[in-house]
Amino acid sequence: LAKTTQPISMDSYEGQEVNITCSHNNIATNDYITWYQQFPSQGPRFIIQGYKTKVTNEVASLFIPADRKSSTLSLPRVSLSDTAVYYCLVVNNTNAGKSTFGDGTTLTVKP
Amino acid sequence: NAGVTQTPKFRVLKTGQSMTLLCAQDMNHEYMYWYRQDPGMGLRLIHYSVGEGTTAKGEVPDGYNVSRLKKQNFLLGLESAAPSQTSVYFCASSFPPGTAVYEQYFGPGTRLTVT
């Protein structure tokens, strides 16, 4: 299993760009990286997925270096409603049981 | 389209009692999962299923059993509840890994307290 490590918490202010990095040193060739967002008393919600280089969608970007041992979720111009816990999840392409959530990063956006 | 639903939303059990949590999805997903989330912690996979009639152990399977008799339903059972099983339980479903976007859809959770 590819164990993931994230910062426990981060603070930011409205309008700033936030970058959350996840370390996954023992990632395998057929693993890819996904990120989820979780609000209190709700289930996690998918944000973005990537394998290498850069992926962008309407809410976030995901940067993955060539060695794939880490990944960075970038949230542009955060607002108060982005306050949540963000999880990095390394997913095995052939075995769903080998996917593990880390402990997540609590992002607090201040006015 | 309800997505993933879980029944019940809350439950209090006494030590030694049994119960079953029901998860249902209407997205025709092959894969289904049961996770537990303890306060301030991430999600840990209990059991999962890759299709109707199949189940497999995840990271923390002890004390739980599961069944997937129908594609749309995934049941989680506790035969003899213990205080250590006090947690929030989340069900999720997805298409298989390797599809274009591997996204797990989560239910709203069941908050279980064992006294």
Buried b (16+ CB within 10 A) or exposed e, B15-29: eeeeeebebbbeeeb
C-beta atoms of A46 and B105 within 8 A = yes
Q: How far apart are CA A8 and CA A85, in angstroms?
A: 9
Q: Are strands B87-94 and B56-57 parallel, antiparallel or unpaired?
A: unpaired
Label residue B56 by pLDDT band (50, 70, 90).
very high
Distance from the A109 Cα atom to the nearest Cα atom in chain B, whole angstroms = 18
Q: Does B79 contact chain A (CB < 8 Å)?
A: no
What is the average per-residue pLDDT within A23-50?
93
Encoded amino acid at B50, one letter: V
Q: How far apart are CA B41 and CA B55, in angstroms?
A: 25
Q: Which residue of chain B has the CA closest to A46?
A: B103
Interface A:B, Cβ pairs < 8 A: 60
Encoded amino acid at B42, one letter: G
Residue B50 CB neighbours (<10 A): 17
pLDDT of residue A2: 67
pLDDT of residue A92: 84
Digit-coded pLDDT (tens) for B23-45: 999 999 999 999 999 988 889 99
pLDDT at A62 over 80: yes
C-beta atoms of A44 and B104 within 8 A = yes
Q: Which of B25, B34, B29 is nearest to B96 (CA)?
A: B29
C-beta atoms of A44 and B58 within 8 A = no
Q: How far apart are CA B13 and CA B31, in angstroms?
A: 29
Please name the member of B44, B97, B103 whose beta carbon is closest to the beta carbon of A46.
B103
